[in-house]
A and B are shown apart, each in its own frame.
Chain A
Amino acid sequence: MIVNLWQAQVEVKRKNMETTTTIEPKQKVYFDLTTSPHLHSRWTTSKVMWFVVAALVPSIAAALTFFGWTQIFIIIVAVAFSVGTEISIQTIRKKQITWFDGSAALTGLLLALTLPPNFSLSATAIGAIVAIGLGKQIFGGLGYNIFNPALVGRAFLQAAFPVQITTWTKPNFAVDSVTSATPLAALKFDKIFTDTASMTIGNIGGSLGETSAIAVLIGGIFLIAVGIVNWRIPLSMIIGMLVFGGIFWLIDPQNPTPVFHIFAGSFLFGAMFMATDWVTSPITNKGMWIFGFGISLVLIVIRIYGGLPEGVMYSILFMNGFVPLVNRYTKPTIFGVAKEAVKK
């Protein structure tokens, strides 16, 4: 590959020399040159986005099964307002309108799946507007944002409506509007353990998309299999959780087991869909490992010592801020150049 690129560069140079000799001196000539990367992928943005949407179908199905079909309205509102915000901001800023690439719709979908069941629709709309407006477009659109837009939207909602967003409806055919705690909240405030089996299936309180571990895993493994998600991030998060959670468990057996930590809350959802966002995760393999371990470490500290029962959102946003630093730190050495020369 490197040889090919080098040859291509030589050809471009040769072409330049040929053309410059034939033109008149005063005339300006523009070459159709582009900067790197010159490598092309079969993945287009919209293709990736629709694959991720497809991977979310099991989670959506699980959400609708456990919390009732009316939850579809939260998803519709979130997606509609995300796309609407994207279109209106791009119109105002006179930029190319790119809602059809699906990235805004995906952000809305992800945001909806992190919200609690029966969440108010107006607040969902606010969250979607903030997610696209403040999380993405203010930085310049897709590819320029520092933080995961869907999580920015959720973090805003968490700060703006702290009571609403922690009101969990009891799942599965129970009487409507009966509230119940999530496994993590039950553990933190009432010291009640939830068994792993129900957390795997998802018949527990929690956000729409996060409760069913099995549905999230199906989607995540699909994404890893087709090559959209790099397996290093989810795996490093899970290993990190086993290690750090294990340490805390060994210090004090009152703390939950690492397995509980993995299946509880939105850990798997975050690991599969949130942390692996292409824009806001490191680009180097080594960086991905650091990123995943970092999320797990911050998360376990929040879960055990923090005031909130759950911290996946904050830990991912926190590590998103470190991504440029991680990228710089793990920059691979230039091929064929001595290390000392690179340092200079």
Chain B
Amino acid sequence: MKKQVPLLREFTKGLWEINPTFKQILGMCPTLAVTVSAINGIAMALATTFVLVFSSLMISLVRKLIPNQVRIASYIVIIATFVTIVDLVMKAQFVELSKALGPFIPLIVVNCIILGRAEAFASKNGPLRSVLDALGNGAGFFISLFVLGSIREIIGSRTILGYQVLPNGFEPWLIMILPAGAFLALGLLMGFANLYIERKKNLVRESLIAQYKRVGREEITDEVLKEAGV
């Protein structure tokens, strides 16, 4: 029997531990393309989360009915249904946003995060856990898109969510709202995230070694360190 993870853990792991953008490095296409401004990032993340949650729920419910050989195609059909809903709702209610996001809303169908969660999680777990996992991943995606969009909007056009935050004397860096700026900002963010993780790991490792020394046991082995995940 598999070790059961606490329910809340299924949600919180998506925020950082397996953050879709920074850890799984999935869904790069919308991440790089639409984060010209914070509002675009938010809209994209919300649309993706909606599709993610409902498709995870559906896939989890029918997971035992789908033959293994045609599962990917079946998942895509389910995902496409919800993407169509999002697309039509956005076209009806948020015309401006829908125009700004352009083809990237229909392209949610092929977003790796959604198919990845369906394949890796929803097809193996019950509906409740699948929804929590989807919500967590959606929230993680939301965080990274919002951060990236804010950085690019602040430096590239002096505003955040449409409100001016930097003075007029600041010359906006046009590169940040060009595709090159997306790559630069994302690369630097990922670099800093990895640096932070590395530092943290080293701290844990050092404290573990110190602990071993204090109790006077033998020299710490690689297996012990591996088990502690450092």
Residues of A within 8 A of B (CB): 120, 122-123, 126, 134, 138, 156, 159-162, 164
Contacts and interface: CB of A to CB of B under 8 A. Distances in A.
A149 to B, nearest CB: 15
Contacts of B181: 159
Interface size class of B (residues with CB under 8 A): 10 to 19
B215 to A, nearest CB: 27
B173 interface: yes
20 contacts: A120-B171, A122-B171, A123-B171, A126-B173, A134-B184, A138-B191, A156-B175, A159-B174, A159-B175, A159-B178, A159-B180, A159-B181, A160-B173, A160-B175, A160-B176, A161-B171, A161-B173, A161-B174, A162-B174, A164-B171
Main SS of the interface on chain A?
Answer: helix
A229 B186 CA distance: 37
Interface string B52-70: 0000000000000000000
Contacts of A161: 171, 173-174
Interface string B181-201: 100100000010000000000
A164 B174 CA distance: 11
Contacts of A126: 173
Nearest to A93: B195
A159 B176 CA distance: 9
Nearest to B155: A160
Contacts of A122: 171
Contacts of B184: 134
Interface in B114-173: 171, 173
Contacts of A162: 174
Identify which of A126, A156, A159, A162 gathers the most chain B CB atoms within 10 Å of its CB: A159
Contacts of B174: 159-162
Contacts of A123: 171
A108 B171 CA distance: 22
Nearest to A159: B175
A341 to B, nearest CB: 40
Interface string B61-96: 000000000000000000000000000000000000
A165 to B, nearest CB: 11
A76 to B, nearest CB: 21
Given A138-B191, A159-B175, A164-B171, 11 more contacts: A122-B171, A126-B173, A159-B174, A159-B178, A159-B180, A160-B173, A160-B175, A160-B176, A161-B171, A161-B173, A162-B174
A84 to B, nearest CB: 19
Nearest to B171: A161
A226 B41 CA distance: 55
A134 B184 CA distance: 9
B49 to A, nearest CB: 32
Nearest to B170: A122
A227 to B, nearest CB: 37
B203 to A, nearest CB: 15
Nearest to A138: B191
Contacts of B171: 120, 122-123, 161, 164
A161 B181 CA distance: 13
Give 8 closest A-B pairs by Cβ, nearest first: A159-B175, A160-B173, A160-B175, A160-B174, A159-B180, A159-B178, A162-B174, A161-B171
B190 to A, nearest CB: 12
A181 B174 CA distance: 23
B198 to A, nearest CB: 12
A122 B171 CA distance: 10
